[in-house]
Structure 1
Amino acid sequence: MISQLRQSSLFSKARLFLLSILLSWGSVQAEEKVLFSFDDHWLPFQYGVRLSLVSSQSSSGTASNQVIAMGPPGAPDSRGVIYYGSVCEVNGELWMWYLGMGDQDEERRYRIHFAKSKDGRKWEKPALGLVKYGANSDNNLVDLDQGGFSVAGCIVYHEPEETDANRRFKMVFTGSKYPGLLFGVAYSPDGVRWTESPQNPRGANKMEPQGGIKYKGAYLLNGQFGGSPSSPVRSLVTQMSYDFEHWTEASVQGFRRDPIAPRPINRTGARDGEQVHLGAGLWDRGNVVLGFYGQWHGHPNNDRRWVSIDTGFLVSHDALHFYEPIPDFRIIEAKETPDWWLPDGTTRPLDRAPAIMQGQGFANVGEETLFWYSIWVVPHAGVRVARWERDRLGYLQSSKQNAHVVSALLSTNGNPTTVSLNVSGLGEYSSVKVTVLDEQFRPLPGYEAAQCTGPAKSGLRESVTWGDKKNIITDKPIRLRIDFTGVRPEDIRLYAAYVTSEK
């Protein structure tokens, strides 16, 4: 019996992993909307529910979540590894571009390195043979001007559908080659051999980017500064391009944290107070864009060593304007991230406040959501991974009787549509009932709460059924009503609903 249960569990995990790949990479001809619990645009009508967000489950105070460490002596990343990079899903793998500096450099010089992984935790540094470091090219350096300058950051866009094979990978980078934080762009057929644009630098204004996606046909690049005069300190700004060469000189200010009147402005300098560090790493989920941003906490003494930085959480529906579902929530906490202990067991002196730095790249791998980051200005700390149960970044919970939510209008385009829930806490005394409504909130016959027979158990993606019906068949827009029911509805945690229509 135990063996059968294990086999069933393994089969369920394998099915979920395969489904995640097919939905993420477009092999399934379906259009999916994700109704996250924290997204009040898609779940606007709420009664008797309370929202909670979930901080990363990564370990604090240890390096147990380190996934890219410094290389051995003589390697180009033997002296330090920081992220300031990207992770993309490519050909069934995760590819990472990160920054490293080696022990053969007299000066502080970071170069772009390449790594790949199947699971986001164990990473391989392949010997690319492209760039010599010392007398050896047996390393994982990518060829961007043969590593001839120090790179401050890189954001990689992967477009397998690009008709020009030499431009299927695109990069925005900053570094010593273009002073004043002007950015350059480069192109690659394979992600490791890069050719700069002859028109570099591209940015017309000082811009320190760390997030970017292609969204509805336009390339978006966000970071801090970027020519936005309305905030005198770090805020999230976005620039746009349709050809990756010509970028808007003007920026969209999408999110700020500094005091705005009538709140008192007590700032003592450019490093003091609440700010947004390096914009946000973005995750396009189709109908919603999620962002992890640098939550800068400046000290009144204006000393960078006293600045602490957590990771905050943003939501957007146009990839330009962002808001926090719960203001100032720390989705990844910086506390105790520097190692506490020296090799001899004594405590390590604290030489600066704990601070972490986000990059560009999220992934759902099997039953987990992963995001990578590094420790700000601590090169020996390497690249680390934060993790959550899959898509469980937040949940709604019943706070009174008759608790329920109703979605915004959802188009099915007249195609068969299924609903699945990411939910926990279901059992003998707690259940959810899903009703399909029309635009005017009237139940569709056959899809009412009384007919709802599933999901019967908790899970990351459990199907909703109405008797023997799994597909919703209608040529009109619909709404979903999700009720928290049973003797103990407060046990239920609703993380997300997935609405999938065949094309």
Structure 2
Amino acid sequence: MKLCLSLLVAAFSAHAAESTFFAFDDHNIAWQHNLKLTLETAQKHPANPVLRNGPPGSPDAGHAILYGTVLKQGDTFRMWYLGMHEAEIVKGQAPGWWRPMCYAESKDGITWTKPELGLVDFNGSKKNNICLIEGEPHSMTRVNDFLSVLFEPEEPDPSKRYKCAYIAHMPIEDVKGGRSKIGPNEKRWGSFVTATSADGLTWKCVGDRPANAEGERFEVSGLYRFGDFYYATGQLLSPWSWRPDGSEIGRDMLAYRSPDFVTWSKAKALSYARPGQLSNPPVKGQQMHMGAGLWNCGNVMVGLHGMWQDAAEKPPAGKSWNLGVRVDLGLMISNDGVHFREPVPGFQVIPRGKEGEWDDVAILQGHAFVNEGDQTMIWYSHWDTGGVLENMDIGLATLRRDGFGSLSPKVTENDAHFITSAFTAKQIALNVDGLSAENPLCVQLLDHLDHPLDDFEITLTTNGLHVPLNWPKPLPAHKIALRVNYPANSSAKIYAVYLND
């Protein structure tokens, strides 16, 4: 076990030592001449859905959705997801509603098993895959919605190396400290609850009250560490959230922060709202759904957000309130861990399926990104907005490794180039395609004032996911920038620049 943990620490440390300038990062690749960004649509796996709901009587008989997380540790993919044992949505949902934190494993990310953990009594048996959450009051342990799992191998306290955040709709009377007068007089509290664990299977709640402000229905959907703070992002809407001018807004993403995973800020940052939500007047029916599924890439946060569009017509009486809502998944990025943006607003990285396909109504994002071999693997799930839990299972989509998008010449007949922001590194590599001996790239190093450095210009003709730039001498210790020159008639595509310390 010590050897296994040492390997995990080394793997995570190695990841942190490498910075990635993605092609769609217009902060780190801001300076461009004659270039266009082409985003890619992920390819859905032919075996989808790769993880399905269980048989009658199981914890996920109603549905298995990836309001959760996938991590690869060692040679095992680990998934935390939400099950539901009811076959249909219960009217009123909270405070008694429970969607257990379920656990699955895989060796390839495609074929999954649901191990018998033996931790929680369900229907008279502990032979199930439910994770145990301990805490007082008991209602804090009842997961209702989105859970996000974070692994920190360098955490000095072994019992806290796994951290999570989730939504538990608690009765108001269960909440220590009472409630504020802000917002409608509800019987439940949209609670943002945190917990820690040594193994990711047995958890203990942090404290004895929710982390979010009193009386607020904050639907936490993300948890990550970026710089000096932990951040918890989630969904809010009016009356708890509003546009900068104070006017009402639909679902948007806000963030809390904490320096120690115990005390969380009362102040929140507006992390993201879809462009149509902030226009004047706002685009009718356009919202973002449940924050974002996020991937910490070390120097930047990358994620997928739910591109919500209201139903064209109001549902008939007696039907689900959100019948007809449609959701696709769009790409977003943040350079500070707080403020997110879409590289190309409205682009669907993972679109919902066509009519009649298993994921044809609306889809949901998870914190589920893994670079494996030559692919970036992304798991997601289906949401039946009609409220009957039909086909609410988990699927897989893939891209070229780090291949969310590429930079290539806009006017092919002309030359093109980009210059990165300044950095220090010992090694530089490119994720590139479309090169040949007849169609090379010229790569240069510049000082912080854009002056070319002597003896730091090379020609690149090799394609690959991580092609090293072999300079004639070691890189300078001071800050430098990279200039990549595309000759006229170039067909080169650059997906990412990698900087290794």
Under TM normalisation by the shorter chain, which class is it? 0.7 to 0.9
User: Aligned residue for 1:481?
Assistant: 483
- Picking from 393, 405, 428, the partner of 2:418 is 405
For residues 43-86 of structure 1, the C-alpha deviation after alignment (integer angstroms, 9 at most, x for no partner) is 11111111110011115xxx722221122343222332112111
What secondary structure, in the 3-state scheme, does the structure 2 residue paired with 1:322 have? Answer: coil
Residue of structure 1 equivalent to 2:177: none
State how far apart, in whole Å, the 2-side matches of 1:106 and 1:232 are. 27
Tell me, yes or no, if the aligned pair for 1:305 and 1:353 is still in contact at 8 Å.
Answer: no
Larger deviation, residues 139-148 vs 46-55: 139-148
In the TM superposition, what is the alpha-carbon distance from 1:338 to its structure 2 partner? 5.3
Pair 1:357-2:364 in alignment: yes
Contact 2:431 2:494 in 1 (8 A): yes
Alpha-carbon deviation of 1:42?
0.9
Residue aligning to 1:387: 398
Residue matched to 1:143: 132
The alignment of Structure 1 onto Structure 2 pairs a total of residues equal to 449
Q: What is residue 5 of structure 1 aligned with on the other side?
A: none
Aligned partner of 1:463 in structure 2 is 468
Whether 2:286 is the aligned partner of 1:274: answer: yes
Letter in 2 for 1:425: G
Q: Is 1:102 the equivalent of 2:85? A: yes
User: 1:67-106 to 2 correspondence within 5 Å?
Assistant: 67-102=50-85
* Secondary structure of 1:381's aligned partner: coil
The one-letter amino acid of 1:168's match is R
Question: Using a 3 Å threshold, how does the CA distance of structure 1 residues 124 and 440 change in structure 2: closer, same or farther?
Answer: same
Q: 1:106 to 1:132 in 2, by over 3 A?
A: farther
What are the Cα deviations for residues 221-258 of structure 1, in whole angstroms up to 9, with x where unaligned? 11111743335211111111122222222211122126
| Separation in 1, partners of 2:294, 2:356 | 26
Q: What do residues 14-37 of structure 1 show as CA deviations (whole Å, max 9, x unaligned)?
A: xxxxxx999852258x83221111
Give per-residue Cα distances to partners, 1:443-488, cap 9 Å, x unaligned: 211112xxx143x32111112224xx3x6421221111101136x4
| Counterpart in the other structure of 1:248 | 265
| 2:223–2:230 Cα contact (<8 Å) kept | yes
The alignment status of 1:425 with 2:409, answered yes or no, reads no
Equivalent residue letter for 1:464: L
RMSD: 2.7
Distance 1:445-1:198 versus aligned 2 partners, 3 A rule: closer
1:270 aligns to what? Answer: none
Q: Contact (CA 8 Å) 2:295, 2:302: kept in 1 or not?
A: yes
Q: Which amino acid aligns with 1:307?
A: V
Residue of structure 2 aligned with 1:225, choices 207, 216, 236 = 236
- Distance 1:474-1:398 versus aligned 2 partners, 3 A rule: same
Deviates more, 1:44-53 or 1:146-155: 146-155
CA deviation map 1:349-395 (0-9, x unaligned): xxx97211111231111111112211113453311112101000000
Q: Which runs of 5+ in 2 are unaligned?
A: 1-6, 91-96, 172-187, 316-321
Greater CA deviation, 43-52 or 378-387?
A: 378-387
- Matched AA of 1:494: I
Q: Write the letter of the residue equivalent to 1:214.
A: R
Report the identity percentage: 31
How do 1:1-400 and structure 2 match up within 5 A?
25-27=12-14, 31-58=17-44, 64-102=47-85, 109-145=98-134, 149=142, 151-177=144-170, 179-204=188-213, 205-225=216-236, 227-230=240-243, 231-257=248-274, 259=276, 263-265=280-282, 267=284, 273-303=285-315, 304-336=322-354, 339=357, 354-377=361-384, 378=389, 380-400=391-411
Aligned match of 2:94: none
For the residue of structure 2 that corresponds to 1:166, the secondary structure is helix
Gaps of 5+ in 1: 1-19, 268-272, 341-351
> Does the 8 A contact of 2:435 with 2:462 survive in 1?
yes
Deviation at 1:176, TM superposition (A): 3.9
Task: Name the CA distance, whole Å, in 2 between partners of 1:21 and 1:387.
Answer: 24
- Contact residue 427 and residue 475 of structure 2 kept, 8 A: no
1:203 is displaced (CA, Å) by: 1.5
What's 2:183 paired with?
Answer: none
Cα–Cα, structure 1 residues 254 and 302, in superposed 2: closer, same or farther, change >3 Å? farther
Letter in 2 for 1:305: L
